[in-house]
């Protein structure tokens, strides 16, 4: 059944008369039930939603950026994640930060009654493949909000010279459409103004971003993710409500992820312990890929059982393909 947080969000959307958000959460409830094997319940929920709007055709997820300003469709990648907290493994300290963010966002009205604001400007930093983007998706899912990823590579390659104007349009959109806005590879935007290799355009972009961040009064959650926090301007760092570090997983974290990813294969606990030790040094993304590669090996061998050797070989193969440090 749907968890208590989803039910509370469903009731809040109904009380507020927000039919679009109500439908979004209800569809997430249906998806959750389907993943849990309750396909009959999921089908009934979808049927009820279809019956509620017979003239509008089949129910689909809302598209908040149907007519984005300044061609934001090239800059914003929009989706409604289905990954919940039960599908992510985080270090204890990082998990506390995420839990605190979710708790404050869900209690925004209670905090507002005391003149307080929930955390919503967040910095995620750490090596690639350690869960920054996945956690942004989890936050969006848990809050029943769309995830809107700002594609900085497009922003700089296609809009050089007008990047500040496009950023302004993104912040305007954040005030119109509540969501989780992820500025991925954020060091491209927030690079140190004092960088001797910097160009004037990058400095202007950062100054514009700082002004937009100061003026922002939306209720959207803004997440900056970077692999290199040392590149960020110190004036920018002070403007975040919370900072979370996503580091390489240790053996216990890898074991939890392996157990999560291989739950349907029922590998012995001793095997999971050994594999976790063998995988130390890999990222969460590497471990996930190893499980996928092992499952493919199982299928190609025309077996229905995942073996310890399949995963051990996949882990070894990934290690051998790691880039050589200079």
Is there a single domain that holds both residue 164 and residue 199?
yes
Is there a single domain that holds both residue 211 and residue 162?
yes
Nearest to 3 by CA among 142, 190, 136, 207: 142
Alpha-carbon gap, residue 108 to 114, rounded angstroms: 10
Is residue 25 within 8 Å of 145, Cβ to Cβ? no
Domain that holds residue 234: 69-245
CB within 8 Å of 99: residues ≥ 6 apart: none
Extract the tokens encoding 223.
């997440």
Confirm whether 326 is domain-assigned.
Answer: no
Q: What does the pLDDT read at residue 313?
A: 93
Is there a single domain that holds both residue 137 and residue 177?
yes
Alpha-carbon gap, residue 122 to 214, rounded angstroms: 14
- What does pTM read for this prediction? 0.72
pLDDT in tens, 10-55: 777 777 677 767 877 777 777 777 666 676 776 677 777 766 654 4
Alpha-carbon gap, residue 268 to 208, rounded angstroms: 55
Give yes or no for residue 82 having a pLDDT over 60.
yes
Confirm whether 213 is domain-assigned.
Answer: yes
Extract the tokens encoding 254.
């890898």
Is there a single domain that holds both residue 43 and residue 87?
no
Extract the tokens encoding 175.
């005030």
Q: What does the pLDDT read at residue 204?
A: 73
- Rg, Å, the chain Cα set: 22
Confirm whether 237 is domain-assigned.
Answer: yes
pLDDT in tens, 92-124: 889 999 999 999 999 998 998 898 999 999 999
- Give the 3-state secondary structure of residue 192: coil
CATH number at residue 220: 3.40.50.300
Extract the tokens encoding 238.
């002070």
Confirm whether 26 is domain-assigned.
Answer: yes
Is there a single domain that holds both residue 233 and residue 90?
yes
Count the domains in the chain: 3
Is there a single domain that holds both residue 222 and residue 261?
no
Q: What does the pLDDT read at residue 191?
A: 58
The terminus-to-terminus CA distance of the chain in angstroms comes to: 51
Strands (E), the chain: 76-79, 121-125, 147-150, 180-183, 221-226, 242-245
pLDDT in tens, 219-275: 999 998 888 777 677 777 788 899 899 988 999 999 999 999 998 888 899 999 999
Is residue 94 within 8 Å of 245, Cβ to Cβ? yes
Alpha-carbon gap, residue 129 to 133, rounded angstroms: 9
CATH number at residue 313: 1.10.8.60
Extract the tokens encoding 7.
């039910």
Is residue 307 within 8 Å of 291, Cβ to Cβ? no
Confirm whether 64 is domain-assigned.
Answer: no
Q: What does the pLDDT read at residue 190?
A: 60
**Backbone φ/ψ region at 194: left (φ over 0), alpha (ψ -120 to 50), beta:** alpha
Confirm whether 325 is domain-assigned.
Answer: no
Alpha-carbon gap, residue 127 to 146, rounded angstroms: 25
- Model confidence at 4, in pLDDT bands (50, 70, 90)? low
Alpha-carbon gap, residue 201 to 195, rounded angstroms: 12
């Amino acid at each position: 059944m749907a968890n208590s947080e989803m039910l509370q969000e469903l009731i809040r959307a109904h009380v507020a008369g927000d039919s679009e958000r109500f439908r979004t959460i209800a569809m997430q409830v249906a998806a959750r039930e389907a993943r849990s094997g309750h396909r009959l319940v999921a089908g009934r929920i979808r049927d009820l939603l279809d019956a509620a709007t017979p003239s509008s055709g089949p129910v689909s997820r809302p598209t908040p950026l149907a007519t984005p300003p300044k061609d934001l469709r090239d800059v914003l990648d929009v989706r409604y994640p289905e990954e919940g907290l039960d599908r992510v493994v985080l270090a204890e300290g990082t998990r506390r930060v995420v839990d605190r963010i979710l708790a404050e966002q869900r209690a925004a009205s209670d905090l507002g009654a005391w003149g307080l604001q929930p955390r919503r400007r967040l910095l995620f930093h750490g090596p690639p493949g350690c869960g920054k983007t996945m956690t942004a998706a989890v936050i969006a899912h848990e809050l029943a909000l769309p995830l809107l990823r700002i594609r900085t590579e497009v922003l700089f390659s296609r809009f050089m010279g007008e990047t500040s104007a496009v950023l302004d349009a993104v912040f305007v959109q954040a005030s119109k459409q509540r969501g989780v806005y992820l500025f991925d590879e954020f060091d491209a935007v927030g690079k140190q103004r004092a960088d001797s290799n910097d160009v004037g355009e990058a400095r202007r972009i950062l100054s514009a971003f700082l002004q937009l961040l100061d003026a922002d009064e939306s209720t959207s959650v803004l997440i900056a993710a970077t692999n290199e926090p040392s590149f960020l301007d110190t004036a920018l760092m002070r403007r975040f409500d919370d900072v979370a570090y996503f580091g390489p997983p240790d053996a216990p974290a890898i074991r939890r992820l392996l157990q999560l990813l291989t739950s349907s294969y029922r590998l012995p606990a001793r095997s999971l312990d050994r594999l976790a030790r063998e995988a130390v040094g890999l990222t969460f993304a590497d471990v996930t890929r190893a499980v996928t590669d092992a499952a493919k090996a199982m299928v190609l061998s025309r077996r229905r059982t995942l073996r310890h050797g399949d995963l051990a070989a996949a882990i070894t193969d990934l290690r051998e393909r790691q880039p050589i440090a200079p």
